[in-house]
Amino acid sequence: MITLDDLVQEVQGLAPLPTAAAKLVQILAVDEAEVGTAVEIIRFDQALTASVLRYANSPIAGAYYPTNSIKDATIRIGLGKVLEIAISSHVREPMGNALPEYGLGEEELWTHSVASALAAEVMLRDHKMAIPQLSFAAALLHDIGKLVLTRHLDPAIQGSIRRLTTDCSMTYYRAELEVLGFSHADLGAQISERWNLGKDISRAIGTHHEVETTPGPVADVVRISNLAAKTVGSGLGFEGMNLEADAGACERLGLDRSGFERLSADVAVLLRDIQKSHS
């Protein structure tokens, strides 16, 4: 049976994040993030510069007038979104692959990840919540552990997990823990540490299914973002809606039932708009 220690060794072989993304994480970890410092980092990455300007000038960003200024674009979309864009370029291709061991076809994990990041953005933009800027990247990466773990889920392990979810009414996450002794969330936290994404993002990824813990506001946002993405039918796979709702996280975020329903509806509209623009 594969162990978490075995997979940690595999994680060590992953390519590091782009330099710009790593530096932006360090900036966002500081309460008073300097936009000017971030702009200088972005300028030295031509691909990131192009992506930031493209997003800042898109209808999704609510652009009323075009801009060719990196500083104006960064202010318009926020440093958290810039970090998400920088990380997206690194994980887009592998997260677009099918993960049949999780019941996910091509693009389904990526779409779920994007929907989760959108939920974090909507909470900040439309629901006026105090959402930490690191939440966008954490939401995007919360299922990153599945990319490594999927290679080791042979039919016997998959069968054991599925039996626990059906015969014992156990959540998929709890079944992973029972069969393997660890979960995709644990592995995702290891990947985050490998990429030096900081304790807030690592904790959020590692605890995104732990509804009885309170590891911080970034983790609360990721849990609710994951649930909202699932609610709109994104990334269900074998896991489906077989996960625990986190009333505590909703309460801490000031999100009641109707607020969560509005959040999910907003995510569905934005996700559909993004998919149309790429079709």
- Domain covering 4-15+79-277 in this structure, CATH number: 1.10.3210.10
Distances (CA, A) of 1 to 7, 177, 180: 11, 13, 8
CA proximity to 85, closest of 43, 53, 39? 53
CA torsion 143-103-116-138 (nearest 10°) is 0
Full-model pTM: 0.93
Q: Tokens 């644990």 sit at which residue?
A: 186
DSSP string, 8-46: HHHHTTSPPPPHHHHHHHHHHTSSS--HHHHHHHHHT-H
Outline where DSSP puts E strands in the chain: none
* Cβ-contact 40, 33 below 8 angstroms: no
Amino acid at 73: A
Asked if the model's pLDDT at residue 127 lies above 90, the reply is: no
Asked if the model's pLDDT at residue 63 lies above 80, the reply is: no
How many CB atoms neighbour CB 88 within 10 A? Answer: 21
- What's the pLDDT tens digit per position in 133-164? 899 999 999 999 999 999 999 999 999 999 99
190: its two tokens = 């290891």
- The stretch 189-200 carries a mean pLDDT of 93
pLDDT on residue 181: 96
- The stretch 58-69 carries a mean pLDDT of 86
**Residue predicted with more confidence, 39 or 2:** 39
Q: Give exposure, 170-203, as e/b (b: 16+ Cβ within 10 Å).
A: bbbbbbbbebbebbbbbbbbbbbbbbebbebbbb
pLDDT on residue 33: 67
pLDDT on residue 227: 95
Distances (CA, A) of 20 to 26, 37, 38, 91, 177: 10, 11, 9, 14, 35
CA proximity to 140, closest of 85, 186, 193, 59? 85
pLDDT on residue 59: 84
Asked if the model's pLDDT at residue 199 lies above 80, the reply is: yes
**Residue predicted with more confidence, 246 or 224:** 224
Asked if the model's pLDDT at residue 209 lies above 90, the reply is: yes
- What's the pLDDT tens digit per position in 66-109? 999 999 999 999 999 999 999 999 999 999 999 999 999 999 99
β partners of residue 99: 104
Q: Tokens 């995510």 sit at which residue?
A: 267
165: its two tokens = 């979810």
